[in-house]
Amino acid sequence: MANKAFSLTTQAGASIAPGIELTGAAAKFWRAYRPTIRGTYTFILILVVWEIVGRYVLTSRLMFAPVSAVAEEFVKLWASGGLQQDMLVSFTALFFGFLIAAAVGITMGSFIAVSDAASEHFDPIINALYATPLIALAPILILVFGIGPASKVAIVCLLAVFPILINTKAGIRSADESLIEAARSFGANGFEIFRLVLIPSALPFIVAGFRLGIGKGLIAVFIGELFGAREGLGYLILLSSQSFNIPGMFVGVIILAGTGVLLVALFEFLEKKIAPWRQFELKA
């Protein structure tokens, strides 16, 4: 009997923690948004722990700052207008670098995927470069392009281009042979097959490449602003840490992290949206 009663309550309500039972609308809400609610719990918990540690454990403001101090610093920087300027500078570099990386990556990736000669010529060097920590080349690019936006765009592009290129190539190569043949049976020429079959079937892979590329692009912006820059989020982080303004450093880090989370989520959403027919393998 006890068992039966238990199963009835789990059907009607929801147990969110031992001893806490929800019923009716609250239970429904819990079931629909459980992952979000739990994720938010953890997030809030981290903020609380951060605040406690900042106030009572690592009390030296030269080493650490509670989250409330970070929020205060955010408001201050925002009010001064400097934060918006830093964000604008960093995001502009990210945007243009990524745009070029996408154009180059998709073009080169397609070319290598459809041409055996191109593939044999370029595969070894691409694989070598993909495995290299290219960020090490950042100082050279800064020497070549100067400390302005051009060098940051170049670094973003260099880092983001390989995941996009490699995923484009993999996507086109993995296009189903029968889908290509079906198009051929209608007399489609090479370009039509490329445009109407290869690109659409590679699209989820290309977007997955964007998702991987954006993470690298954010690292690139940060690194690009560590050398000689006079503005941008990377510069904000560097300057703040050098002047022991720990809250200011966290403001920069959190904005970069938040941007990454948002953009990755956006691309993940797009991946699912454009290819609802498949749960494709994520290529890391």
Partner 1 sequence: MHPTKLETLGIGKQFANGGTDEVLTVLTDISLRIRPSEFVSIVGASGCGKTTFLRILDGLIPPSSGSVLIDGREVDRPDHKRGFVFQKDSLWPWRTTMGNVMFGLQIQRRPRGEARETARKLIELVGLKGFESHYPHQLSGGMRQRVNLARAIAVNPEVLLMDEPFAALDAQTREVMQLELLRIWGAEKKTVVFVTHQIDEAVFLSDRVIVFAARPGRVKEIVPIDLPRPRPFSIKRTEQFVRHVDRIWGLLEEEVFKSSGVERPVH
Residues 188-227, mask of contacts with partner 1 (x by CB under 8 A): x---x---xx--xx-x------------------------
Q: Phi-psi region for residue 81, left (φ > 0), alpha (ψ -120 to 50) or beta?
A: left
Residue reference for tokens 């070598």: 128
Judged by beta carbon, residue 134 or residue 203, the one nearer partner 1 is 203
Instruction: Tell the smallest beta-carbon distance from residue 272 to partner 1 (Å).
Output: 13
Separation CA 259–CA 214 (nearest Å): 10
- 10 Å CB burial of residue 198 (0-12, 13-18, 19+) is buried
Q: Which of 26, 75, 103, 274 binds partner 1 (CB under 8 A)?
A: 274
Query: How far apart, in whole angstroms, are the C-alpha atoms of residue 212 and residue 267?
Result: 9
Smallest gap from Cβ 184 to partner 1, in A, equals 6
In the complex, the smallest distance separating the C-beta of residue 50 from partner 1, rounded to whole angstroms, is 45
Which helix (H) or strand (E) element contains residue 54? none
36 vs 178, beta carbon nearer partner 1: 178
Identity of the amino acid at 16:
I
Q: Closer to partner 1 by CB, 138 or 172: give it.
A: 172
- Taking CB under 8 A as the criterion, the residue among 119, 275, 280, 283 binding partner 1 is 275
- Please give the Cα distance from 86 to 249 (Å, whole number): 13
In angstroms, give the least distance from the CB of 98 to partner 1.
Answer: 25
In angstroms, the CA 140 to CA 134 distance is 11
- Within residues 148-187, the interface with partner 1 by CB under 8 A covers 176, 178-179, 181-187
Nearer to partner 1, 123 or 192 (CB): 192
Q: Are 97 and 156 in contact (CB under 8 A)?
A: yes
CB-based contact 141:155 (threshold 8 Å) = yes
For the record, the structure tokens of 147 come out as 């400390």
Residue 89 C-alpha from the chain's centroid? 18
Question: Could you say whether residue 260 binds partner 1 (CB under 8 A)?
Answer: no
Choice between 1 and 177, CB closer to partner 1: 177
CB of 201 to partner 1, least distance (A): 7
* Residues binding partner 1: number (CB under 8 A): 22
Interface residues with partner 1 (CB under 8 A)?
176, 178-179, 181-188, 192, 196-197, 200-201, 203, 274-278
